[in-house]
Amino acid sequence: MDLLGLSVREMSKGLRDKQFTSAELTRVFLAEAKRRNDELNAYVLLTETEALAQAEASDARYAEGKPLSALDGIPCALKDIFNTRGVRTTCCSKMLERFVPPYDATAVSKLRDAGVVFLGKTNMDEFACGGSTEHSCFGPTMNPADPSTIAGGSSGGSAAAVAGNMAPFAMGTDTGGSIRQPASLCGCVGLKPTYGRISRSGVTSMASSLDTIGHFTKTVGDSALILQALAGHDPRDATTPEVLVPDYLKDLEKGVKGLKIGLPKEYFAEGVDPEVRDAVMAVAKVYESLGAIVKEVSLPCTKYAVAVYYIIMPAELSANLARFDGIRYGSRPKKEGESIVDYYYNARGEGFGAEIKRRIMIGTYVLSAGYYDAFYNKALKVRTLIKNDFDAVFKEVDVLLTPTSPIPAFKPGEKINDPIAMYLADALTIPANAAGVPALSVPCGVTAAGLPIGMQLITPQFTESLLFQVGRAYEKAVG
Ligand code: GLN
């Protein structure tokens, strides 16, 4: 049996029916990860011994007929920004090169309690800042669909691990597109849930008002199953409201008949690759054939999203990264210097990469006296307008359909020296973070060159069930 090709739901059934064991599954994925990692660089750490011990414990539970959950015994990969008890967690920064957390992130402990097996930690842009993993201190992750191109970012390692059959599912974070963009570039399903739907406790903060936890899977149904295990209030994260967690699989097969699907014209404008645009327009036709009503809509403030993000994100990032001073958090500098200021200067100078330094400078600037109102406060106001656009459009339609990334995967080095070009790659994913609404990227074809294309579905806050329902309808129709 081709264990590598199974979905999580199929694996779960296979484990229950005793077709294979968790140890078998875990060995197969570890072997594939080792075989491909030299080329792809998806993992920065494989925790083989721990994984096999977890798998054997899971098999013992199945043997007794007492699995902990539907996810018991299923292997998974974790972005190296999730704190893992006793296992190095670097955020792919030299600053945290030797950091071993004393506790698990809430998302990790929920998965652990469900019986999930952790294969290892995946590559990412340093502190989740980037869209290609080229800002990782471990070097970039390459795309399994075409290893001469990058996997996207910042959660590129997790996307490549799932698309490259090196993990059945993987965890990531999305602040401006870091789950959806690499999912789209690598050809897997990526979910950014509603802001606050999954606890962020124990996951290093990038920009706190935008950060979300989510995951990569091969299928939409798997995405629903995993959200079920992770969603909910956590007393350790005050931004997780006590909103009821529905049964995410209940409406999965309901179809789209009668649903209103909006195509926001701003998301198909200049800058979107014609092959990407055509692929997403073809999806709209599929939905129409399934009985949905498709119409053009407008979100006029979309054009401000990137500018707003690159003020709010660096402002929050610069504050969050202030704790990494080589004393409270982060590595000691090689040279300590004469004064405490020298010490900070050396610790932060050595520990942070160039992109992080650029963002700290921007963030500090927009928060400084005299500029705070002109930049930061203004950006907050425009953010509200972006949110208002979504509120208005969801009075007209049930769901939005857009491209995820305006372009398919690119070559390493192509954008690294042009930060603005790199930032524009997130133009279509950032608005959902600004508004706090959930969004799902689903594969919808390939370019003539064979590179994956992803479509993005967006729905109102806390309606992930609808996202899955609509995503699944397409997946089922095209096979
Ligand atoms: N690529 C975006 C950035 O560089 C998004 C990052 C993210 O979502 N973590 O900020």
Atom of ligand 1 nearest to the CA of 181: 1
Q: How many domains does the chain have?
A: 1
**Which residue shows structure tokens 């909006």?**
262
The confidence score (pLDDT) of residue 270 equals: 84
Q: Is the pLDDT of residue 1 over 90?
A: no
Q: Catalytic: which of 58, 93, 154, 223?
A: 154
Model confidence at 285, in pLDDT bands (50, 70, 90)? very high
Residues near ligand 1 (Cβ within 6 A): 128-131, 154, 173-178, 206, 313, 426
Do 421 and 372 contact (CB within 8 A), yes or no? no
6: tokens are 């199974």
Helix ranges (H only) for 301-424 are: 305-320, 340-351, 354-367, 378-396, 419-424
For ligand 1, what atom is nearest to the CA of residue 174? 8
Instruction: Provide mean pLDDT across the span 173-180.
Output: 98
The pLDDT-based confidence of 449 (bands split at 50, 70, 90) is very high
Residue type (1 letter), 413? G
Residue 32: domain span? 1-479
Q: Is 192 a catalytic residue?
A: no
425 pLDDT above the threshold of 90: no
Active site residue 260: no
Pocket test for ligand 1, best of 124, 313, 416 (most atoms within 8 A of CB): 313
Which atom of ligand 1 is nearest the CA belonging to 425? 1
pLDDT tens digits for range 293-311: 999 999 999 999 999 999 9
pLDDT reported for residue 420: 81
- Residues 12, 22, 58, 79: which is the catalytic one? 79
Residue 181 and residue 426 in contact, taking contact as beta carbons nearer than 8 Å: yes
End-to-end Cα separation, the chain, in angstroms: 20
pLDDT (mean) for 142-160:
98
Single-letter residue type at 242: E
CA 328/CA 37 separation, integer angstroms: 34
Reported as a pLDDT band with limits 50, 70 and 90, residue 51 is: very high
pLDDT exceeds 90 at position 422:
no
Q: For this structure, is 387 an active site residue?
A: no
Tokens representing residue 223 in the block: 């995405």
Say how many Å lie between the CA of residue 231 and the centre of ligand 1: 22
| Cβ proximity of 90 and 99 under 8 Å | yes
Mutating to test ligand 1, I would choose from 171, 173, 178 the residue with most ligand atoms within 8 A of its C-beta, which is 178
- Which atom of ligand 1 has the smallest separation from the CA of 153? 1
User: Which pLDDT does position 54 carry in this prediction?
Assistant: 98
Residue from 12, 22, 136, 178 carrying the catalytic annotation: 178
**pLDDT one-digit tens code per residue, 369-404:** 999 999 999 999 999 999 999 999 999 999 999 999
Verdict on whether the full-model pTM lies above 0.95: yes
For residue 479, pLDDT beyond 90: no
In angstroms, the CA 264 to CA 434 distance is 16
Pair of tokens at residue 200: 């962020």
CATH code (residue 251): 3.90.1300.10
Pairing of strands 75-79, 117-122: parallel
